C-alpha cells in the first residue's frame, strides 16, 4: 500500500518493522496498562474504596486516571516533538511523512484506547461520545501502523491529550477534596447518596480527560470550593488553547504544505491501493474529532460558569470574594 522500502525512505516514510512486531508491541503495552491498573487498584484503590465507600465507577477511575496521565504525557511529548521538529516541511510533506517514533506511539495509542474502552464497560453511565472517541482512536492508530501516511493529522491530535492531566487533577480534587461528593459517607447518608444516581441535565458531570462526560458518580451535594472552581476554569482554558483548534488547523497546515486544500484532496485520491479509501476515512475522523473537540470545549466553559455561580452564591464563596 505504501510502496517499497526504498520509496518509503525517499518519501520520508520510516520503513515498517512488520505487522507481527507492531501488533506484538501493542499487545505488550496493553498488558502493561492492565498490570498498572490492577496494581494501583490493589495498592491504592481498595483502601480508598473502603475509606470513602467509593462507587464502582470511581474505584475504577482511581487506576484509570494513573494510566490516563501516563498516556497523556507520552502522547503529548511525541506530538510536540514531531511538530516542533518540522518534519512535515521535509521531502515527504504532509501526506508522506512517518517517523520512527510513530512505530511506538501508534501501538501505544491502540493499546490505551482498547484499555480505556475496557474500563468504560465497568462504568455503565459513560457518555456515548467517549465510546465514539476511543473507537475512532483505536481505528486510527491501527490503520496508521500500516497505512503510514497522513500522520500530520494524528500528530496534532497527540498534543490535545495534555488536557487529560488537568482533567485528572480536577477529578481528584472533586472526588477527594473539601467539596467531595463523598464527604458525608459514613454518617448515615450512604443510602441517600447512592439512591441519587448519576447526574441530571441540571447538574451534569464534568467532561472527561478527552472531553466527554466521563464519570457516573453522584453530583456534589455541597458547593464547590474555590480551588475546584479555579480548576474548572483552568480546564476550560486548556481545552480552548490546547484542543479546540488542533484538528481544523491540521487541515490548514496540510493544505498549505501540499499546495492547497483541493490539491491535497487530489493527492489523497491518487494514493496507491486502498490508499484513497483509508485516506478519506481518515479525513472523516478529522472532521468528527473537530466537532467533538469544539463541543467538549463549549461544555467545559458551561460547566465552569455553573460551578462559579454556585460557588459565588454560597456562603463560602461570599466569604472568599
Please check whether residue 83 is in contact with residue 154, taking contact to mean a CB–CB distance below 8 angstroms.
no
Cα separation, 89 vs 12, in Å, equals 10
Q: Which residues are registered as beta bridge partners of 13?
A: 98
pLDDT in tens, 187-241: 333 332 333 333 333 333 434 433 334 444 455 567 899 999 999 999 999 999 9
Rounded-to-integer distance, Cα 167 and Cα 159, Å: 15
Nearest to 162 by CA among 79, 97, 101: 79
What is the dihedral angle through the alpha carbons of 129, 133, 134, 135, rounded to the nearest 10 degrees?
Answer: 90
Mean of the per-residue pLDDT values of the chain:
85
Q: What percent of the chain has pLDDT over 90?
A: 68
- Work out the pLDDT band at 134, boundaries 50, 70, 90: confident
- Does the pLDDT at position 104 exceed 50? yes
Can you list the alpha helix ranges (DSSP code H) found in the chain?
A: 5-11, 19-40, 46-52, 56-84, 102-120, 128-147, 152-160, 163-176, 190-196, 226-242, 246-257, 261-269, 275-313, 315-320
Q: How far apart are CA 76 and CA 83, in angstroms?
A: 11
Task: Compute the average pLDDT of residues 268-273.
Answer: 89
DSSP 223: P
pLDDT of 109 above 70: yes
Amino acid at each position: 500500500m505504501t510502496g517499497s522500502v526504498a520509496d518509503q525512505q525517499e518519501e520520508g516514510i520510516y520503513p515498517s518493522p512488520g505487522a507481527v512486531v507492531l501488533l506484538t508491541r501493542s499487545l505488550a503495552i496493553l498488558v502493561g496498562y492492565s498490570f498498572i491498573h490492577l496494581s494501583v487498584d490493589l495498592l491504592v484503590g481498595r483502601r480508598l474504596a473502603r475509606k470513602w465507600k467509593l462507587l464502582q465507577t470511581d474505584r475504577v477511575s482511581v487506576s484509570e486516571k494513573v494510566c490516563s496521565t501516563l498516556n497523556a504525557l507520552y502522547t503529548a511529548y511525541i506530538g510536540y516533538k514531531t511538530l516542533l521538529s518540522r518534519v512535515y516541511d521535509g521531502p515527504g510533506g504532509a501526506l508522506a511523512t512517518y517517523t520512527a517514533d510513530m512505530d511506538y506511539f501508534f501501538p501505544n495509542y491502540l493499546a490505551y484506547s482498547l484499555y480505556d474502552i475496557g474500563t468504560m464497560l465497568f462504568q455503565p453511565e459513560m457518555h456515548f461520545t467517549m465510546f465514539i472517541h476511543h473507537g475512532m482512536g483505536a481505528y486510527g492508530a491501527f490503520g496508521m501502523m500500516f497505512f503510514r501516511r497522513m500522520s500530520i493529522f494524528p500528530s496534532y491530535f497527540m498534543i490535545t491529550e495534555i488536557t487529560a492531566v488537568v482533567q485528572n487533577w480536577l477529578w481528584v480534587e472533586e472526588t477527594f477534596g473539601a467539596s467531595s461528593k463523598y464527604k458525608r459517607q459514613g454518617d448515615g447518608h450512604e443510602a441517600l447518596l447512592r439512591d441519587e444516581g448519576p447526574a441530571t441535565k441540571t447538574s451534569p458531570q464534568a467532561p472527561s480527560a478527552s472531553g466527554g462526560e466521563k464519570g457516573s458518580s453522584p453530583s456534589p451535594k455541597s458547593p464547590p470550593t474555590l480551588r475546584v472552581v479555579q480548576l474548572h476554569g483552568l480546564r476550560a482554558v486548556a481545552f480552548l488553547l490546547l484542543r479546540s483548534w488542533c484538528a481544523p488547523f491540521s487541515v490548514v497546515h496540510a493544505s498549505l504544505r501540499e499546495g492547497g486544500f483541493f490539491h491535497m484532496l487530489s493527492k489523497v485520491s491518487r494514493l496507491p491501493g486502498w490508499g484513497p479509501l483509508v485516506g478519506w476515512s481518515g479525513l472523516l475522523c478529522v472532521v468528527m474529532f473537530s466537532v467533538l473537540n469544539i463541543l467538549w470545549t463549549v461544555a467545559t466553559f458551561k460547566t465552569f460558569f455553573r460551578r462559579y455561580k454556585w460557588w459565588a452564591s454560597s456562603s463560602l464563596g461570599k466569604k472568599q470574594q
